[in-house]
Structure 1
Amino acid sequence: MKIRTGGPQDVAAVLRMFDSAVAWLSAQGRTGQWGSEPFTGDPKRTAQVEGWAESDGMRIAEIDGSPAGCVTVGPPNAYVPAAPVPELYVQALVIDQAFAGHKVGRALLDWSLEEAVRRGAQVLRVDCYAGDDERLVGYYESCGFTREAPFAVGQWPGMILQRSLSALR
């Protein structure tokens, strides 16, 4: 697996990653996280991915030259209060379901941890969907994150999680 800097040339591939994740979640009846409609063709979603692609925080994981996952890091998302200490925030993490089971998400989170240390952050934070059975919260906990605080955006339940970087210095 190779992790490289992402950019505008990756927008279509990242939208396809989200499409595969939405289709996978929908097939399980789990539409609360991202809905049931593809991201491709949605102007709002496209603009969001284009914004990430223009930042210096987008990374693409590739397996055998194919885009397998994407992470974007930077300041916290607008609906989340900033941490009281220097932080780096995982703004988005998505995996193409064709590469499920290849530990792409963990590799991208490991890169995020290393990047947070390089940037002098004290914590790496992320938020995720906390509805249904909280499986996604459990995934982040299995990656070493701890629950910080629940929140909601309208009816969408979320959880902020953090990982202290003190042991990594």
Structure 2
Amino acid sequence: MNDDRRVIRIRPGSPADAPVVLDMLDSAVVWMNDRGNTEQWGTTPYSKKPGGAERVERYMAEGAPHIAELGGAPVGAMVLDSGPSPEMPIAPAGEPERYVRLLVSDRRHAGLGIGATLLAHAVRETRRAGVDLLRVDCWAGGGGELIAFYERNGFVPTDPFLFGAWPGQVLAQRVGAHRGPGKTPESTSKAGPGRR
């Protein structure tokens, strides 16, 4: 018997999902802080940071949000856009791209591959749009654990950057949009056990 409660499904998101995404971001801050990570997102709940709630609402309204669900309940979120946030010191790609502006998973379900499933969906959406380049940026501190997560999911580090004193890393993946149907690049990963 197939247990649908263990299947991660992805649906289009909307501005109505902003409160649940903010809750995930707030709980991610607590989760990181409990593990001694106070540098990535600080110690203030994301919803209480200046501009935090407004940023999420804007991303959900202006970008292409996607919600991961497990047993019908939201457990992750991703927002794709046509480039990096103008708030970040990241150069445009110089070609069409899709950019992961936001990726978060409900840490109560850590280890189920929610983040990896959302990134695999980003690859499909990028390819479906006829675009070859998918990029993301992340925190480069903490021994590079987040960079390693993206590398396991087919991304390659490209440009490091500083956002104030916050060290960041841009990563990119070629998704093979122009390689013809059924052909995928070797760099594309599948979600598996132990993935974010």
TM-score, length basis structure 1: 0.95
Residue 42 of structure 1, CA deviation: 3.7
Structure of larger gyration radius: 2
User: 1:14-58 deviations in whole A, cap 9, x for unaligned?
Assistant: 011011111111011111111111123445110011011112510
Q: Tell me how far apart the structure 2 counterparts of residues 56 and 47 of structure 1 sit (CA, whole Å).
A: 13
Matched to 2:115, the amino acid is G
SS at 1:134's partner residue?
helix
SS at 1:40's partner residue?
helix
Q: Does 1:16 align with 2:14?
A: no
Q: Does 1:131 align with 2:138?
A: no
Q: Tell me how far apart the structure 1 counterparts of residues 53 and 42 of structure 2 sit (CA, whole Å).
A: 15
Q: How many residues align?
A: 169
Q: Tell me how far apart the structure 1 counterparts of residues 159 and 48 of structure 2 sit (CA, whole Å).
A: 33
Name the residue aligned to 1:92.
102
Runs ≥4 in structure 1, deviation > 3 angstroms? none
SS at 2:142's partner residue?
coil
Name the residue aligned to 1:61.
68
Trace 1:86-165 onto structure 2 (pairs within 5 A): 86-165=96-175
Q: Tell me how far apart the structure 2 counterparts of residues 160 and 56 of structure 1 sit (CA, whole Å).
A: 19
Matched to 1:168, the amino acid is T
Residue 157 of structure 1, CA deviation: 0.2
Q: Tell me how far apart the structure 1 counterparts of residues 77 and 50 of structure 2 sit (CA, whole Å).
A: 19
SS at 2:116's partner residue?
helix
Let me know the Cα RMSD of the aligned residues. Answer: 1.4
Name the residue aligned to 1:168.
184
TM-score, length basis structure 2: 0.82
SS at 2:47's partner residue?
coil
Name the stretch that deviates more: 144-153 or 49-58. Answer: 49-58
> Can you give the 5+ residue segments of structure 2 that lack an aligned partner in the other structure?
1-7, 177-182, 186-196
Matched to 2:128, the amino acid is R
* Contact 1:85–1:122 (Cα < 8 Å) also in 2: no
> Can you give the 5+ residue segments of structure 1 that lack an aligned partner in the other structure?
none
Name the stretch that deviates more: 79-88 or 62-71. Answer: 79-88
* Contact 1:57–1:72 (Cα < 8 Å) also in 2: yes
